[in-house]
Amino acid sequence: MDTLIVAAARALAAGDPLSALKRVALRNDAPALALRGIAMAQLGDLARAKVLLRKAARGFGTKQAVARARCIVAEAEIALVSRDLSSPAAALATAQATLERHGDRIVRDADTTVSLATHPILFALARTLGEAWPADVSRGMLLARAFRAKHADESHRARLRVEVRRLRVKLRGLADVNATTRGFALAPRRAREVVVFAPPVEDAHASVLAFLADGESWSSSALSLALGSTARTVQRALDSLAGAGKVQSCGRGRARRWITQPMPGFTTTLLLPGPLPGD
């Protein structure tokens, strides 16, 4: 088997994409293009990575390349990396743009950023208003989204008025929250349009899934420290995700670790099948 390709694959498996690139920099056959594409993806050059992976996929499509490189595993790796590069980083919840909502719960324009991370009700109101912009939102919808109130009474409506006043204070300088006949509407001050960015998957335990998404195994205690949550909260989340088939555990007691369910396909360390020289 080609020693340069093997060495580059080992460098990638060891987390050294620069070394992998150097070893196959002058090669233009399908295995080298695949390795270079994956290395460029690890380095963050996504546009270049997509080009190289497309070229590699075409090269692996020939019978000669398949026979020469034994590329079934490499084809699977190319498909997985290409899918990851094309996956959305955020879901656009409205058609317009300028004020933004991110996973860390902020509202901003070009000059000012307001964090609502510690104000979940205010954030729910801001997001609902932002998604509906430029239209208004009914009081019933705001009560359902912010307070999960199925049957609103006068106490709910009074609380909504209080929270809307608090939101106006928080967004002062960014936007107004104007009363309408049926509810409220968001009116940006400096920005011409409004946009809402949301995580691609809004799972109840999305933060836990995000930490497990890199493929590494985590203990529940490490997740608890990383998330700033109690061990019991994290364990409940893991149990719920395991029940839904989204994560799995291995080991027992203190050695227990959690990972996401493996996707169909192969990891980069298996880019080329068969034992490596010297193994």
pLDDT tens digits along 43-87: 777 777 777 777 777 766 655 554 554 444 455 555 655 665 555
Answer whether residue 188 shows pLDDT above 50: yes
Q: Which domains does the chain have, with CATH numbers?
A: 3-87 (1.25.40), 100-198 (1.10.10.10), 206-259 (1.10.10.10)
The DSSP line for the chain is --HHHHHHHHHHHTT-HHHHHHHHTT--SHHHHHHHHHHHHHHT-HHHHHHHHHHHHHHHTSHHHHHHH--HHHHHHHHHHHHHHHS-SSEE-SS--SBEE-TT-EEE-SS-EEE-TT-HHHHHHHHHHHHHTTS-EEHHHHHHHHH--SS--HHHHHHHHHHHHHHHHHTTTTEEEEE-SSEEEEEESS-S-B--EE-SS--TTHHHHHHHTTS--B-HHHHHHHHT--HHHHHHHHHHHHHTTSEEEES-GGG-EEEEPPPSS--GGGSS-SPPTT-
pTM of the entire predicted model: 0.47
d(C-alpha 33, C-alpha 54), whole Å: 9
Higher-confidence residue of 107 and 71: namely 107
125, pLDDT greater than 70: yes
Confidence (pLDDT) at 227: 76
pLDDT tens digits, one per residue of 227-261: 778 888 888 888 888 888 888 888 888 788 888 76
